[in-house]
Structure 1
Amino acid sequence: MKSSLFSLRNIRRLYGGLSLVLFFVLIVITDYRFMKGYEVNIFLKLDPLVAIGTLLSTGTIYRGLFLSLAVVLLTIVFGRFFCSWLCPLGVLNQILSSVKPDPSGQFRYNRFRPLYRLKYYVLAVLVLLGLFKVFQIGLLDPIALLTRTTSTLVVPAVNRATGLVYAKDFMAQGGVALAVVFVLVIFANRIVPRFWCRVLCPLGALLGFFASFSVLRIWRDEQKCTNCLLCLKNCHGGCDPHRDLKFSDCHLCMNCLEDCPEGAIHYGIEKPSSVPQGSVDLSKRRLVETVVFSAFLVPLWKSSASAEKKPSARLIRPPGALPEEDFVRKCIKCGQCMKVCPTNALQPALFEAGFDGLWSPILVPRIGYCEYGCVLCSQVCPTGAIRPIRPEEKIKRPIKIGTAFYDRCRCLPWAMNIDCI
C-alpha cells in the first residue's frame, strides 16, 4: 500500500517523537529554577502499572494516578497504542533498533519468539510481590526506569560536559549501577530489536493483557494475502502479522498496513474474512513456577536487612516522607525528587534502607543540605510517598527528618564555651 504524508504510520511517528521530546523537556524543567506549576510527572501519572502497583501494596490509589485509567480505557478500545505512540522508552528503543544488527535478517528478527512471553511472567512476579506488600514495580517500570536514569545520570552528564542545565555539578551515588542497567537495556537492541519492549517490559505485558479485549485491532484478510511476508519487515512488536497475529504483542506501529502491497492488512473491527488471532498463550506450568518463585521470594526479600528491623544512621528521608513502611510501599524510585532538589542532597539509596528501598531517595548531608524553605520534592512525587507540604508548614511547624548529633570531644566551641558562629 502506498504511504501518504498523513498515514497512520507517519502520525504515529509524529506522536512518538513529540512524546520523547516532551519527556526530556519535562525532565530538564524539573528544576527549582524552572518549576512553574507544570505537570512534570505526567508520564508517571499516565502509567497504569504504577497505579495498580500502589493499589496492591497500599490498598489505595494516589489521586494523580487516576489519569492512568484513561490509558487503560483507550487500550481496551484501540489496542496497545501506548508502547509505540507515547512511551518514551519504547520510542527510544525503536530509534536505536532502527539500525539493524543484520539488515538482511529483518524478517527473522521480527518473528514472534517464545522468549517474548517472559514479560508476562515478570509482570506476574511483580504483581504477586505487591499482593504481599513488597512494592518493586518501580525497578522495572519503563517510565520510572527512564526517569530515574535521565534524572540522575544522563542529564547530569550533559551538564558536566556543557554546564547548561544546573547551576552546579550534580552527582548521584551509585551512578555506576544505574549506568550499567541503562546500558544493558539500550544495547540489548543489538541482540533483538526493541528487546526491552518485547521481552521484559511489565507495563507492556499489562497493556497487552488489556489489549487482548480491544474493540479495534489489526487484522489480515486471508483472501487478499499472498504470504509475501513484507508485513514482518518493520513490525515493532514481533507479533506475527503474517500468521495468527498476536494482538496482545502488537504495538500498533501501523507499519504492516503501509508495507502490505495487496492491502490485505487493516485496522478496525474484524471482518468475517479475517484470519483468527492468537491470544496471550502462557504455559500453566510456567505460571505455577512463577507463583512458587514469588512465594519463595517474599520471605527472602522480607528477611533481608530492612530499614524497619535494622535502622541505618544514614537513612534520612525527604521532608514530608511517609512513615518508612508506608514510604517503601509507595515510592517507585523514579528520581524526580532527586532531580528537583536544589542542593543535590537527595540521593538514590543503595542498601541503607534494605532491598525494599533500593534507589529510593535519601538525604545525604555530606553532599548537600535540605534547603529550609524548599518543598519541591513533595510537589513532584507522583505517588504520594512524599506527601504535599507547604513552605510555611515546613518552617513554622518544623518537620523532623532526623536527629543531629555532634562529638563534644571534637567541638571547640563546646569545649571553650563560646558561640560557634
Structure 2
Amino acid sequence: MIKKLLSLKNIRRLYAAFFLALFVILVGITSFRSMKGYQVSLFLELDPLVALSSFLTSWTVYKGLALSLIIIVGTMVFGRFFCSWICPMGIINQIAGSIFNKLRAVDLIKMNAYRTIYRFKYYGLALFLVLAAFGTIQTGLLDPIPFITRAFAVSVYPAVNYWSGGFYLKQPVFQGGFLLAAIFITVLFANRFINRFWCRSLCPLGALLGLLSFRPIMQIWRDTAKCNDCMKCVQNCHGACDPHASLRTSECMVCMNCISDCPENAMHYGLPKNASSVHTPLDVNRRRLIETAVFGTVMFPMMRSVITSKTAAQHSVIRPPGSIAEGDFLRRCIKCGECMKVCPTNVIQPALLEAGFEGIWTPILLNKIGYCEYNCVLCSRVCPTGAITPLTVEKKIGKPPAQKPLKIGIAFYDRGRCLPWSMHTECIVCEEVCPTSPKAIWFQDVEMQLRDGTTKVFKRPYMDPELCIGCGICENKCPVRDKPAVRVTSIGETRSLTNQMSLKS
C-alpha cells in the first residue's frame, strides 16, 4: 500500500498539485496589498522560451531569467518533466481532459496515439524564433506561462472577484478580457476531442523542451523481454509518445503513468539498459521547417510596414512608468499581464490594435478606466523581462530641481468641452486632484458676462507642460464623462527622445 502511494505517478501528482497551487497563489497575491516582496513572476522567470526569445530580440539576458537554466539543464538530464510536473497550463489541461474522459465513453488508446498534427508546435516554435531573431517578440501569444498568466490576470481573477469579492478594492475591468476568456475556455474545451491538445499540438515551449529532451540522460524505457503488448501504457499517456513501441522521447512528458499502469513491470525510468526498446527520432519535416522560416521572413516586414506605436508616435499608446523606449519595449514585452494584475487603479490595460499587431496584449494606460497612482511603482517590480525597468518612488516623482520627475505623457485641455471655458460652469476638479507639487494645473481668474447680463468670475484651468507627468488622474476624474475635457497623450514622455513637443518656449 505504501509502495503504491509513493509511486512515481503519485509523486508527480503531488508536485503538479503543489506547483498549480503555487501558481494560483502567486498570481493572486500580485497586488499592492499582498505582494510584499514575494517572487510573483517566478514561473515566467523559469520559462526557457521567455529567456531565449528575449535574448534573440535584444541580445541580452535579463538577470531575472537566469532561473530558466534550471529547467534547461533539468530537461536535458531528466527529460521533458516541466510539462506534467510544473507547468500550470499543462496541469490544467490534463485535469480538463480527465474530466471530459470521465463524462463520456472514449477509446483511450486511440485518444492517446501519436498524430502528425503534433508536429505543428515545432513549426510554430520555428516561426516565433525567426520573428524574434528579426526583432519582434511574439512568443507570448502562445507560450503557456505568459498565456495562462495573462488569462488569470485579465479574465479568471476578475470573474472570481465579481462573484466573491476580496481580490480587488473595486471590480476590475479589462478591454479584451472577454476575448481572452473565450480563447482560454476554447483551449480547455479542446481537451474534449484530444487530450492535452494545447500541449501536444500548439505549445511552443513544449516544442523547445522537446528539442532539449531529444536525448535525455534519464528516460522512460521499455523492457522488451517482459512486454506483452497489452497497450495499457498508452491509456493514460500525457504526451502521446508511443511508450508501447519506439518511444518518442521529445513527446514524452515523464508523467510516469505508463510505469504505474504496466501489469508486467516492463516500463522503467532511468538509464536505458540493453533490453530496452529503441527510441523514435524527432518527427519533424525539414521542408516544412524551411517553409516556416521563409514565411516568418516574409511576415516580418509586413508587420513592420503598418503604422505602429514604434514607427509613428500614437497618442493613445501610453506605456506604464519605467517602460523603456518603444522599439526596445516591443522587443522585450511578453504580454504576460503581470503589470495589469498588480495595478491598484486598473489603469493598465491590454492593448488590442492601438500599438499595431506587434503590440497586441501589451500594456497601455487607459485613463478613462483608472489613473497612474503618483506614489506607485508596482508595475516595475513584477516585469520579468525588463520591458518595464525597476523604479523607486523617488526616481518616479523626482526631486526638483536636480532630478526631474518621470513623465509618461502630458495632459491637454479641450476648451470646447471644459465647463469653465465653454459653459460658464464652475469646476476645479482637475486642479484639486493633481498630485504634483507645485501643481501642474493652475487657474486664471476671468470675469465673464453671463446671458442674463450679470458678470461672474470663473477660474479657467491651464496646464503647465513642464510640471505635468501624464498620470491621467485629471482625465479620469473629469466630470465630463463621455469624452473628458482634459486628455493625456504620450507626447513628452521621458523614455522617448523623439516623441516630444515640437515647439519650445
**Cα distance, 1:308 vs structure 2:** 2.1
**Cα distance, 1:199 vs structure 2:** 0.5
Determine which of 406, 415, 431 is the counterpart of 1:408: 415
Amino acid at match of 1:46: L
Amino acid at match of 1:342: P
| Structure 1 portions without partners, runs of 5+ | none
Q: Determine the C-alpha separation between the residues in 2 that align with 1:2 and 1:169.
A: 47
Contact 1:3-1:258 within 8 A present in 2 as well? no
Amino acid at match of 1:24: V
Q: Determine the C-alpha separation between the residues in 1 that align with 2:334 and 2:144.
A: 11
Q: Determine the C-alpha separation between the residues in 2 that align with 1:390 and 1:368.
A: 21
Q: What is the aligned partner in structure 2 of residue 383 from structure 1? A: 385
User: Higher RCO, 1 or 2 (CA under 8 Å, sep at least 6)?
Assistant: 1
Amino acid at match of 1:181: I
Q: What is the aligned partner in structure 2 of residue 58 from structure 1? A: 58
SS of the residue aligned with 2:17?
helix
Q: What is the aligned partner in structure 1 of residue 35 from structure 2? A: 35
Q: Deviations over 1:131-155 (max 9, x none)?
A: 1111101111100000001001110
**Cα distance, 1:377 vs structure 2:** 0.0
**Cα distance, 1:412 vs structure 2:** 4.4
Aligned length: 421
Q: Which moved more, 1:84-93 or 1:309-318?
A: 309-318
Asked which structure has the greater CA Rg, the reply is 2
**Cα distance, 1:272 vs structure 2:** 1.2
Q: What is the aligned partner in structure 1 of residue 245 from structure 2? A: 243
Amino acid at match of 1:403: I
Determine which of 200, 206, 214 is the counterpart of 2:208: 206
Q: Determine the C-alpha separation between the residues in 1 that align with 2:163 and 2:106.
A: 38
Amino acid at match of 2:27: I
**Cα distance, 1:307 vs structure 2:** 1.1
List structure 1 runs of 4+ shifted beyond 4 angstroms: 412-416
Determine which of 191, 194, 203 is the counterpart of 2:193: 191
Q: Determine the C-alpha separation between the residues in 1 that align with 2:417 and 2:240.
A: 65
TM-score by length of 2: 0.81
Q: What is the aligned partner in structure 1 of residue 290 from structure 2? A: 288
Q: Determine the C-alpha separation between the residues in 2 that align with 1:410 and 1:111.
A: 65
Determine which of 302, 317, 320 is the counterpart of 2:319: 317
**Cα distance, 1:304 vs structure 2:** 2.4
Amino acid at match of 2:69: L
**Cα distance, 1:3 vs structure 2:** 6.4
Contact 1:2-1:258 within 8 A present in 2 as well? no
Q: Determine the C-alpha separation between the residues in 2 that align with 1:380 and 1:330.
A: 14
Q: What is the aligned partner in structure 2 of residue 19 from structure 1? A: 19
| Structure 2 portions without partners, runs of 5+ | 399-403, 423-444, 447-458, 462-473, 475-505
Mapping for residues 81-230 of structure 1, pairs under 5 Å: 81-99=81-99, 100=101, 102-230=104-232
Q: What is the aligned partner in structure 1 of residue 338 from structure 2? A: 336
Greater strand fraction, Structure 1 or Structure 2:
2
TM-score by length of 1: 0.97
Q: Deviations over 1:253-276 (max 9, x none)?
A: 000001111111110011111111
Q: Deviations over 1:324-356 (max 9, x none)?
A: 000010000000000000000000001111111
Question: Between the two proteins, what is the percent identity of the paired residues?
Answer: 53
SS of the residue aligned with 2:153?
helix
Q: Determine the C-alpha separation between the residues in 2 that align with 1:290 and 1:206.
A: 16
Q: Which moved more, 1:295-304 or 1:382-391?
A: 295-304
Q: Determine the C-alpha separation between the residues in 1 that align with 2:105 and 2:132.
A: 41
Greater helix fraction, Structure 1 or Structure 2:
1
Amino acid at match of 2:147: L
SS of the residue aligned with 1:248?
coil
